[in-house]
Amino acid sequence: MKGTQTVTVVAMIGVGSRYETDKQAGLSHFTEHMLFKGTKKRPDTIDITGELDSIGGDYNAFTTNIATGYHIKVDYKHLENALDIVSDIYLNSKIDSKEIEREKGTIIQELNMIEDVPMKKVSDIFYQLLYKNNSLGRDIIGSKKTVASFKRRNFINFTDRFYKSNNTVICVSGKFNEKKLISQIKKYFSGMKKGKKPKFEKVIEKQTKPEIKIKYKKTDQTHFILGNRAYNHSHKNRFALSLLSIILGGNMSSRLFIEVRERKGLAYYVRTGTEEYQDCGYIATQAGVEHKNLGITVKTILKEYRKITEEEVSKKELKKAVDYIKGKSIMGFEASDAVAMFFTEQELIKGRVMTMEEIFEKIDKVTVSDIQRVARDIFKTNKLNLAVIGPHKNADKFKNSLKL
């Protein structure tokens, strides 16, 4: 990348919570934590984090439903240090039994933290509703019961099965000498072993009527997600769907932001987005409202869903959405870590990298009639799902309002 003095190293593994069994729930996430607890070369957590802090590194890890990633961003002069550390924790982590027992407390506190943040917890409820008979519907962090049950052998068996060369992508972006870098990657990651690509239970979608799931909790605000089943990550309509979500609730001039927040004052935040997996996907709107305003807010959102199926958006509104995506993407691409994540996720999950230019070409081809066609396909009553967290007990009183 021209014009940057940083470099980012990412190691991403194609395993997340949806690859786990019920008894393994949360093991992907717990494993992510354990890889920072010491290696043969760096025996303790402080040896890893201290070395990274000493070079001003920006580092972290994450676990999703479908992947686990470890990333380090540094001054380009410290690229080899970053490669050394990422490869070391990937290949040589001790996963000590005493550290496992200590970390159980940390993860249970993380779980408690999520429970205390309804804006975040409502996403788990939405997934439980949408994918209730599938591992995709389980919480990524697992449960207190499963977290407490893990032993060292569980981690060793898990990493031996999933942390394999043909299930891992190493990506480097930023400032570097490519020829030298390739040689360094071969050197540091030569200990990786091959294995079988993991499989997961596919989602079978058979929804025939609107569904509601409420988590009763005494909160100061009701948080909810209202959404419809949509497309997988390879579907030809995914670009039109992405633009549709921007028009509805993707920014501060979107239809729902103006209608729900600015005109009616029902919510501080309201946003619409999409998510796509190998076999399924959705579009959904999330907001936080006063308890008594849940019904009217849901009706307001559904009115906008319905409107976009009945009337074509203007060419001006579509162009604004296209330019918004382009602008955000280009600004993001100024950072080496954003670039690394963009390419790594595509290579690992989709097996094919689309450049930013190719994506722009696809969204440029979307027409106003495409937006309406996709809206009509997605926004149907039998595909509606409402997840709620707040002091509500009676789901029936909201069922009659779930109509498109």
Same domain, 147 and 217: no
Distance CA 188, CA 80 (A): 9
Same domain, 181 and 266: no
Indicate the pLDDT class of residue 143, thresholds 50, 70 and 90. Answer: very high
Mean predicted confidence (pLDDT) in 334-340: 96
In a domain, 327, yes or no: yes
Pairing assessment for the beta strands 58-63 and 68-75 based on DSSP bridges: antiparallel
Distance CA 29, CA 61 (A): 10
Task: Identify the H or E element spanning 168.
Answer: strand 168-174
Query: pTM here?
Result: 0.95
Q: Which residues of 2-28 are buried (b: 16+ CB within 10 A; e: fewer)?
A: eeeebbbbbbbbbbbbbbbeeebbbbb
* SS3 state of residue 47: helix
Same domain, 64 and 122: yes
In a domain, 120, yes or no: yes
Same domain, 162 and 224: no
Distance CA 256, CA 284 (A): 12
The pLDDT value recorded for residue 360 is 98
Indicate the pLDDT class of residue 397, thresholds 50, 70 and 90. Answer: confident
- How many domains in the chain? 2
Distance CA 13, CA 326 (A): 28
Distance CA 140, CA 20 (A): 10
The pLDDT value recorded for residue 302 is 98
Distance CA 65, CA 53 (A): 29
In a domain, 200, yes or no: no
Q: Is 384 within 8 Å of 228 (Cβ atoms)?
A: yes
In a domain, 386, yes or no: yes
Model confidence pLDDT, tens digit, residues 126-138: 999 999 989 999 9
**End-to-end CA, the chain:** 47
Mean predicted confidence (pLDDT) in 288-305: 97
| Structural domain for 274, as ranges | 211-399
Same domain, 285 and 152: no
In a domain, 206, yes or no: no
In a domain, 198, yes or no: no
Same domain, 173 and 245: no
Distance CA 54, CA 181 (A): 22
- Comparing C-alpha atoms, which of 14, 343, 4, 9 is closest to residue 161? 14
Q: What are phi and psi of 95, to 5 degrees?
A: 50, 65
Same domain, 282 and 183: no
Same domain, 239 and 145: no
The pLDDT value recorded for residue 197 is 84
In a domain, 337, yes or no: yes
Same domain, 180 and 34: yes
Mean predicted confidence (pLDDT) in 296-320: 98
- CA geometry: angle at 383 spanning 378 and 386, to 5°? 115
In a domain, 194, yes or no: no
Residue that is last in its domain, among 155, 188, 221? 188
* SS3 state of residue 140: coil
Q: CATH number of the domain that 43 lies in? A: 3.30.830.10
Same domain, 179 and 224: no
Amino acid at 90: Y
Task: Give the percent of the chain with pLDDT over 70.
Answer: 100
The pLDDT value recorded for residue 318 is 98
Here the tokens at position 227 are 């959404």
Distance CA 285, CA 301 (A): 8
Positive or negative, the CA dihedral 199, 204, 210, 212 is negative
List Cα–Cα distances, 78 to 71, 185, 270, in angstroms: 14, 14, 41
Same domain, 117 and 265: no
Model confidence pLDDT, tens digit, residues 24-71: 999 999 999 999 999 999 999 999 999 999 999 999 999 999 999 999
> Who contacts 112 (Cβ-Cβ below 8 Å, separation ≥6)?
none
Name beta bridge partners: 172.
9
The pLDDT value recorded for residue 16 is 97
Same domain, 251 and 104: no
Number of C-beta neighbours around residue 367 at 10 A: 12
